[in-house]
Chains A and B, each alone.
Chain A
Amino acid sequence: MPSERLRTLPILGDRIGEIEQICAKYPERRSAILPVLWIAQKQEGWISEDAMKEVAEVVGVTAAEVYEVVSFYTMFHQHPVGRHHIALCKTLSCAVCGAHEVSAYIREKYGFDAGKSISRDGRFSIEEVECIGACTEAPAMLVGEKLHGDLTPKSIDDVLGKLD
């Protein structure tokens, strides 16, 4: 049974039951650090220092050890992102199939100031990332958890236009 204290944690408290089930799958509790960080990121959209401290308490490591892990993996956001996060592939297969234009198109049409990764209205954030494993449907992007390939201006508008 998880301690009552864990249930009172502001960020992870209401997910403690699920977290305990995850931890129980692994021979060593520390292995749950990535899955618990994913839950923390889902709760707040990014991983704050407070969240790292909670993950440390839940998994049983120090906050420094959690930070060490968070800062290694590029999908963990250490700063707030837009309501919808776009991860646009920029590696070779996508790059030769128009990834640059996709980037320029989204950045212009969806209100990104030059050099900024969050749109002016906070609706979107964008990150040009390394290969996302969709090379045969280049150019491709992830919007939140959903993959979109063979991007065209129309398909981009169809996807992004529907999001609030």
Chain B
Amino acid sequence: MPVDTFEKVYLPNIERGETEWLEEYRKQGGYEATRMALEMAPEKIVEVVKDSGLRGRGGAGFPAGMKWSFLPKGVYPRYLTVNADESEPGTCKDRPLMEQRPHTLIDGIICTCLAIESELAFIYIRGEYYNSADIMQKAVDEAYEAGLLGDDVLGSGRKVHVVVHSGAGAYICGEETALLTSLEGYRGYPKLKPPFPAVSGLYGKPTIINNVETIVSVPFILTKGAEWFKSFTHERSTGLRLYSVSGHVNKPGVYELPMTVTLREMIYDYCGGIRNGHDLKFVIPGGSSVPWLLPDQLDTVMSMEGVQAAGSFLGSAAVMVLDHTVCPVWAVTNLGAFYRHESCGQCTPCREGAAWMHKILLRLENGQGTMEDLDTLASIAGDGTPNTGMISGRSICALGDAAAWPVGSALKLFREEFEEHVKLGHCPYKNKRYWMADGKFVNETFEHHPAWGH
């Protein structure tokens, strides 16, 4: 593990896994940002956040301060919604943030509410995060008791209320318009944009939606300054970032790093390299939705611009690392099942496209596919870049693109292996054994289990 020359601020003690309750947060100078924000004009807070270059940490990377300035003037009430529906496969950094730094999030919510002149904020937490919701609710209760939340924030006469709201299992609700529809008490169907939520969002009112990590960044930016935030910069990506690294690295985990880090440093220096000395097969650099990277792209800088230059997206900074035992056809079939299940079913290209892609992938992986299937698959999925194939760019929300890109990308990068499945009539990776060593499950390759539906 390299010696870091920077101070970790988001999750400095992640391995301890302790919750920082109000008393402890205050000892560390907590809610200083709220005190500063109460003294500042709303436009000034927006200005500082704009100046920091903070971009959304949920996936799209939209500049946060600019989003806030899209609110129509003089229209109230306005709502803030914190997107804690962390569901992009590979991503699990908002959970430790909520479970370990709940008051930093509330501090950020108050600052953001003051900036955008909102008196009511919602934290929409995915249903599976029972513990995060419990901890956030307890922290919110503490904040109310301490007069940090309520009708008179720290005696300032300003109102900020926070509601903790649990989802119930739907990937699509991480999409901002679907999240709002769900919060209104409906099926989580996305809506066409425009109008953007900043103009017409929750209950038709101007609404700002930001990811947990984005909101948690705000107190640090206010107390440490925009210049501090910009001291970690690669092109237009500023600040430290939480990377969730999973899969076949020796030390998977959530790593707080400047976005100047390369993929090689991340995997081999921080995460201890690939398990059992295996070779790297491919990397999914930004959550399951993004195109894949190959071992010859290890020098990719893990910033938004760096990953884009390599032909993919940083997305939610969820890095999935797969070694040479992983069949790429099997892997993309696994993801195909995910998108087929999670498509909300509202619009045709995604609902039908995700299902057909998965059906064809299953056929190919099971050795019953044909060469024609590969062409059909490519015609649906495209080549892993935006607006290619029959789904990407044609659906109401980005889930369509998310379903198509990994398939198009896998087909482009591993065409020969797809063809091998057809020629052999079975998956070349199949029929090896699993074994258990040291009481830990180890799988050298994959076998299909009836319980998994494929």
Listed in ascending order, the chain A residues whose CB lies under 8 Å from chain B are: 25-28, 30-35, 37-38, 59, 61, 68-69, 72-76, 87, 90-93, 95-98, 100-104, 107, 114-115, 128-139, 142, 145-147, 151-154
A136 partner residues in chain B, CB cutoff 8 A: 92, 244-246, 252-254
Given contacts A35-B165, A38-B166, A151-B441, whether A100 and B450 have CB atoms under 8 Å apart is: no
Task: Give the complex CA separation of A97 and B86 in angstroms.
Answer: 21
Q: Can you list 27 A-B pairs with a CB-CB distance of less than 8 A?
A: A30-B185, A34-B166, A35-B165, A37-B168, A38-B168, A69-B185, A72-B170, A73-B167, A73-B169, A90-B452, A91-B335, A92-B90, A92-B338, A93-B320, A96-B446, A100-B447, A101-B441, A115-B450, A130-B338, A130-B342, A133-B95, A133-B129, A135-B89, A135-B92, A135-B318, A136-B92, A138-B252
Task: Give the complex CA separation of A145 and B89 in angstroms.
Answer: 20
Please state if B128 and A87 are interface contacts (CB–CB under 8 Å). Answer: yes
A92 partner residues in chain B, CB cutoff 8 A: 89-90, 247, 284, 288, 320, 331, 334-335, 338
Task: Give the complex CA separation of A47 and B182 in angstroms.
Answer: 18
* A97 CB to nearest B CB, Å: 7
Choice from B186, B288, B342, B452 contacting A103 with Cβ under 8 Å: B452
Please state if A30 and B89 are interface contacts (CB–CB under 8 Å). Answer: no
Q: Specify the main secondary structure of chain B where it touches its partner.
A: mixed
* A51 CB to nearest B CB, Å: 14
Listed in ascending order, the chain B residues whose CB lies under 8 Å from chain A are: 77, 86-92, 95, 120, 126-131, 163, 165-171, 182-188, 203, 244-248, 252-254, 284, 288, 318, 320, 322, 326, 331, 334-335, 337-338, 341-342, 344, 434, 436, 439-443, 446-447, 449-453
* B211 CB to nearest A CB, Å: 13
B326 partner residues in chain A, CB cutoff 8 A: 96
Task: Give the complex CA separation of A103 and B443 in angstroms.
Answer: 13
* Chain A residue at minimum C-beta to C-beta distance from B449: A100
* Chain B residue at minimum C-beta to C-beta distance from A76: B168
Please state if B168 and A34 are interface contacts (CB–CB under 8 Å). Answer: yes
* A152 CB to nearest B CB, Å: 5
* Chain A residue at minimum C-beta to C-beta distance from B342: A130
Given A35-B166, A90-B334, A114-B450; 5 other pairs, CB 8 A cutoff = A34-B185, A35-B165, A100-B443, A101-B443, A133-B126
* A122 CB to nearest B CB, Å: 19
Please state if A133 and B452 are interface contacts (CB–CB under 8 Å). Answer: no
Given contacts A93-B89, A97-B247, whether A72 and B188 have CB atoms under 8 Å apart is: yes
B91 partner residues in chain A, CB cutoff 8 A: 133, 135
* Chain A residue at minimum C-beta to C-beta distance from B127: A75
B288 partner residues in chain A, CB cutoff 8 A: 91-92, 131
Choice from A69, A87, A91 contacting B89 with Cβ under 8 Å: A91
Task: Give the complex CA separation of A6 and B188 in angstroms.
Answer: 28
* Chain B residue at minimum C-beta to C-beta distance from A116: B451
Please state if A152 and B439 are interface contacts (CB–CB under 8 Å). Answer: yes
Please state if A104 and B451 are interface contacts (CB–CB under 8 Å). Answer: yes
Please state if B446 and A100 are interface contacts (CB–CB under 8 Å). Answer: yes
B334 partner residues in chain A, CB cutoff 8 A: 90-92, 95
For the complex of A and B, list the 10 residue pairs with the smallest distance between their C-beta atoms, beginning with the closest: A98-B441, A75-B169, A73-B168, A30-B185, A135-B246, A145-B130, A74-B169, A33-B185, A93-B246, A72-B187
* B334 CB to nearest A CB, Å: 5
* A109 CB to nearest B CB, Å: 13
* A135 CB to nearest B CB, Å: 4
* A43 CB to nearest B CB, Å: 16
B89 partner residues in chain A, CB cutoff 8 A: 91-93, 130-131, 135
B254 partner residues in chain A, CB cutoff 8 A: 136
Task: Give the complex CA separation of A90 and B127 in angstroms.
Answer: 17
Please state if A146 and B130 are interface contacts (CB–CB under 8 Å). Answer: yes
Task: Give the complex CA separation of A26 and B182 in angstroms.
Answer: 13
